[in-house]
Amino acid sequence: MTKPPLTLYLAAPNGFCAGVDRAIKIVEMAIEKWGAPIYVRHEIVHNKFVVDALREKGAVFVEELDEAPTDRPVIFSAHGVAKAVPAEAERRNMVYVDATCPLVSKVHIEAERHHENGLQMIMIGHEGHPETIGTMGQLPDGEVLLVETPEDVAQLRPRDPARLAYITQTTLSVDDTAGIVAALKARFPAIVGPHKEDICYATTNRQEAVKAVAPKVQALLVIGAPNSSNSRRLVEVARAAGCDYAMLVQRATDIDWRALEGVGAVGLTAGASAPQVLVDEVIDAFRNRFDVALELVETAQENIEFKVPRVLRDAS
């Protein structure tokens, strides 16, 4: 029986970014240095496949520090933590390694600098997301006001409308964020923005690649976890770019093949915390069912690498 033809457009860049790659290396090197178990506060990155693989190597994932014993090292996730977390680890005499993505740390430093200059911060981000919690937790309560939509901007009651700065979560939709920034600037003309865009290079690049693929396809799949902000944004970007059927799948077993019946062109991408093995798995699943012509749609090239902390480099 002949397989139906299908063009599979692979958006590039896709998958792991430098911050995720670094965070995973930190856990692996910590296990190598100190032996198992190593405790990790919160999922190191938002991907079940990655977390399960690290768990098998000896990582124990906890939500709060008090769930970890004081005599074992603890690692803070790539999303960043509030200042109170390392302070608590030091109070308990715990060995800790901070795997916060350097691009998230850059936003933390920005927030502190503006605070020292007497500005109140407005953060564009998703309430409850670990990165938002960690960034807002760099400053005292009340010093960071959170907005998620342009409508939220109208409800803001800052201390002094002339003394404001804004920062953003690194994994937001570039286009949605531009709308919120425009609303902030319209209402608070003196507001100070970041020197360089807070939304990280990897988020931006993956969204641009999806925008290039979406008009070519009838369906687009994003490999990523339901709690991955950057992966969920890719689904939204695909729909906004004209691809009505855009779905988030954790791996090949999640694909709804009935929905793809009669489709001749499908787009594929992966969020920044999804490993290459899952991309390959999905491509193989398509090849099992279709006569696949694989086309790469590359809109940028990435060669960024972040060093792991010195405590682990010294060990190796």
* Number of folded domains that form the chain: 3
Mean pLDDT of 70-85: 96
- The pLDDT of residue 128 is 95
> What is the spatial distance between Cα 1 and Cα 281, in angstroms, rounded to a whole number?
23
104, 131 Cβ separation under 8 angstroms: yes
Nearest 5°: phi and psi at 305? -140, 135
Q: Same structural domain for residues 172 and 137?
A: yes
- Rg (the chain; Cα; Å): 21
- Domain membership of residue 193 (yes or no) is no
Range of the domain at 279: 5-16+201-298
- Domain membership of residue 309 (yes or no) is no
Q: How high is the mean pLDDT of the chain?
A: 96
Q: Same structural domain for residues 116 and 169?
A: yes
Mean pLDDT of 235-247: 97
HSE (side-chain half, CA atoms, 13 Å) at 235: 17
- Domain membership of residue 265 (yes or no) is yes
Q: Same structural domain for residues 255 and 294?
A: yes
pLDDT beyond 90 at 179: yes
- With 0-12 CB in 10 A as exposed, 13-18 as middle and 19+ as buried, what is 60? middle
Q: Same structural domain for residues 74 and 144?
A: no
Q: Domain boundary at 140, 159, 187, which? A: 187
Q: Same structural domain for residues 205 and 293?
A: yes
**Residue 1 banded pLDDT, cuts 50, 70, 90:** confident
- Domain membership of residue 316 (yes or no) is no
- Domain membership of residue 307 (yes or no) is no
Q: Same structural domain for residues 93 and 115?
A: no
**Residue 313 banded pLDDT, cuts 50, 70, 90:** confident
273, 46 Cβ separation under 8 angstroms: yes
- With 0-12 CB in 10 A as exposed, 13-18 as middle and 19+ as buried, what is 213? buried
Q: Domain boundary at 187, 220, 237, which? A: 187
Mean pLDDT of 48-60: 97
List, by residue number, the catalytic residues: 131
The DSSP letter of residue 258 is G
Q: Same structural domain for residues 220 and 240?
A: yes
Structure tokens at 305: 């690498």
Instruction: CATH number of the domain at 116, please.
Output: 3.40.1010.20
pLDDT, tens digit, 9 for 90 and up, residues 104-126: 999 999 999 999 999 999 999 99
Q: Same structural domain for residues 240 and 287?
A: yes
Mean pLDDT of 152-175: 96
pLDDT, tens digit, 9 for 90 and up, residues 120-149: 999 999 999 999 999 999 999 999 999 999
